[in-house]
Amino acid sequence: MRPLPSARKVAPVLFLPDLDAIQEAHARIKPFVHRTPLLTSRFLGEIHGARVYLKAESLQRGGSFKIRGALNALLLAQGRREIGPAGVLTYSSGNHGQAVALAAKILGCLATVLVPEDIAGVKRSAIEGYGGKVVLCGLTSEDRHRGALRLARETGAKIIPPYDDPDIIAGQGTASLEILEDLEEAHAVIVPVGGGGLIAGISIGVKAIRPSADVIAAEPEAANDLALSLAQGRRVSIPQPNTVADGLRALTPGELTFEAAKRHVKEVWCATDSEILAAQRTLLERAKLLVEPSGAVPAAAYVRHGAKLRGQNVVLLLSGGNADLPAGCI
Q: Tell me the pLDDT tens digit for each residue of 279-298.
A: 999 999 999 999 999 999 99
Q: Are residues 187 and 58 in the same domain?
A: yes
What is the structure's pLDDT at 324?
A: 73
- With contact defined as beta carbons under 8 Å apart, do 61 and 126 qualify? no
- Confidence at 7, pLDDT banded by 50, 70, 90: very low
Q: Identify any residues that bridge with 55 across adjacent strands, giving them in sequence order.
A: 38, 317
What is the structure's pLDDT at 119?
A: 82
262 is catalytic: no
What is the structure's pLDDT at 92?
A: 83
Q: Which of 41, 64, 93, 294 is catalytic?
A: 93
d(CA 44, CA 183): 17
What is the structure's pLDDT at 325?
A: 66
- Mean pLDDT computed over 289-309: 97
Asked whether residue 324 is domain-assigned, the answer is no
Q: Is the pLDDT of residue 53 over 50?
A: yes
Asked whether residue 325 is domain-assigned, the answer is no
- Of 124, 143, 159, the last residue of a domain is 159
- Of 101, 136, 159, the last residue of a domain is 159
Q: Are residues 271 and 133 in the same domain?
A: no
Asked whether residue 326 is domain-assigned, the answer is no
Q: Is the pLDDT of residue 36 over 60?
A: yes
Asked whether residue 112 is domain-assigned, the answer is yes
Predicted structure pTM score:
0.91
Q: Is the pLDDT of residue 5 over 90?
A: no
What is the structure's pLDDT at 13?
A: 58
d(CA 263, CA 169): 15
Q: Are residues 58 and 96 in the same domain?
A: no
Q: Is the pLDDT of residue 104 over 80?
A: yes
Asked whether residue 329 is domain-assigned, the answer is no
Q: Are residues 59 and 196 in the same domain?
A: yes
Q: Are residues 209 and 273 in the same domain?
A: yes
Question: For strand 38-40 and strand 111-115, is the pairing parallel, antiparallel, or unpaired?
Answer: unpaired
- The tally of domains found in the chain comes to 2
- Confidence at 137, pLDDT banded by 50, 70, 90: confident
What is the structure's pLDDT at 250?
A: 86
Q: Are residues 172 and 146 in the same domain?
A: no
CATH number for the domain that contains residue 77: 3.40.50.1100
Asked whether residue 323 is domain-assigned, the answer is no
Q: Is the pLDDT of residue 302 over 60?
A: yes
Where is average pLDDT lowest: 34-48, 142-156, 169-183, 309-323? 142-156
Q: Which of 66, 123, 158, 207 is catalytic?
A: 66
Domain residues for the domain of 55 are 2-64+165-318
Q: Are residues 210 and 311 in the same domain?
A: yes
Average pLDDT, the chain: 92
Q: Are residues 51 and 71 in the same domain?
A: no
Of 16 and 323, which is predicted with more confidence? 16
- What pLDDT, in 10s, does the model give residues 177-215? 999 999 999 999 999 999 999 999 999 999 999 999 999
- What pLDDT, in 10s, does the model give residues 201-255? 999 999 999 999 999 999 999 999 999 999 999 999 998 888 999 889 888 999 9
66 is catalytic: yes
Q: Are residues 38 and 72 in the same domain?
A: no
- Mean pLDDT computed over 318-323: 92
What is the structure's pLDDT at 6?
A: 42
Q: Is the pLDDT of residue 108 over 80?
A: yes
What is the structure's pLDDT at 326?
A: 57
Q: Are residues 60 and 72 in the same domain?
A: no
What is the structure's pLDDT at 90?
A: 93
- With contact defined as beta carbons under 8 Å apart, do 246 and 295 qualify? no
Asked whether residue 257 is domain-assigned, the answer is yes
Where is average pLDDT lowest: 20-34, 158-172, 240-254? 240-254
- Of 159, 192, 220, the last residue of a domain is 159
Asked whether residue 296 is domain-assigned, the answer is yes
Q: Are residues 138 and 44 in the same domain?
A: no
Phi, psi of 131, deg, nearest 5: 95, 5
Q: Are residues 300 and 176 in the same domain?
A: yes
Q: Is the pLDDT of residue 8 over 50?
A: no
Residue from 103, 96, 95 nearest 77 by CA: 103
